[in-house]
Structures are given as structure tokens and as C-alpha cells.
Amino acid sequence: MKHRNKAAIWRNARCYSREYVAFCCLFVFWIFITGSFSAGNIVRGLIVSLLVTLMMRLVFRIRLPEDITPRFLLTRFPVFLALLAWEVIKANINLAYILLRPRLLIDPTIVRFKSALRGEFRNTILADTITVTPGTLTLDAQGDELLVHCLAPSHKKGLLEDRSPERLVLWLFTRRGEPSKEMGS
């Protein structure tokens, strides 16, 4: 009887591990945004993080995908953010070059982009990655199809031919040593 209770406790703990991750991420975000380590701020951050996590789970029935684990957040995600920051810097330089030339090299277009990524969460990350990069803006996302505004031909080429944002998000969610089933790999 005692053995069954222990197994049930561990099963429940694993079931809520993603909520613990969400709680920790929200709390770190709270501290980062407020920039204060005072006791009152820490208590407020813990309370708000707990309330938001409970609302995600109980009210809105939102669960983080299986991909989001503490190991993921400590290893892959910081590298992804650094790579994304580098892409944003490169895009800013490219955009400044385009806009500061006497003859503007812009040709605004709207393109339909079919993502090879699987899952709503991954495609949302892709849409946000595209939007955060200067020169591109995700206008709409329906399943695996994105409607993207590109300011210049180089942005359209980067999106449709190089597929660099998509490859970056794919790398984020592909485990080491695991062949990717997405993007024809």
C-alpha cells in the first residue's frame, strides 16, 4: 500500500513539472522586469507567478509542451536567444544599409510562408522570431501557414530560400543526436 502511494506521488510530481518550470520562468521574468531584489518585491513576484501559473493550469487549461523542461531552459534556450540576438543585429545593419542609401532598395511584399515545423507552439515561436527580426512582420498565422510582410527582397529571400528563422527554431526543438523529421531532414 505504501509503495503505491509513493508511485502516485512521483507520478503527480512529474505531471506538474511543467508548471514548476512555468512558475520559475515567470518569477525570473518578474525579477528581470522589476530589477529589484527587495524582500517585498520577491514576495510579490512569488505570489504573482503562482497566481498566473494556477490560472494557466486551472482556468485556461494551458499546459506547456513536453519540449519545455528545466534542461531545455538552461541549455538550448539561452543559446537560441543569443543566436536570435545575432540575427536581429545583422538584420538591423542590413535595414540601416537599405534605408540610408540615396536610392531606397525597398520592395514591400506580403508572402505566404508554409512552415515545416510541427505543432502550434513551435509555429508560434517561429512567428515571433520572424516578427522580432527587423524587416519582417508576421501578419497572420493559421496552422503551419504564416502570412509575412517583407520590406525588401533580401528579407523575402532570407525567409523563403534560406529559411533561416525556421532553421533556428528547428534547432531549438531538436534534441542532440536525434534526427529531425521536420524540414525534410
**CA separation for the pair 174, 157 (Å, rounded):** 24
**CA separation for the pair 62, 54 (Å, rounded):** 10
The pLDDT of residue 170 is 92
Is residue 9 scored above 70 in pLDDT?
no
**CA separation for the pair 115, 149 (Å, rounded):** 15
Is residue 115 scored above 90 in pLDDT?
yes
Q: Which helix (H) or strand (E) holds 148?
A: strand 145-150
Q: What is the pLDDT of residues 11-69, one digit of tens each?
A: 555 566 778 888 888 898 899 889 899 999 999 999 999 999 888 888 877 777 777 77
pLDDT exceeding 70 applies to what percent of the chain? 85
The pLDDT of residue 139 is 96
Instruction: Check: pTM over 0.85? Answer yes or no.
Output: no
Is residue 132 scored above 60 in pLDDT?
yes
**CA separation for the pair 145, 127 (Å, rounded):** 10
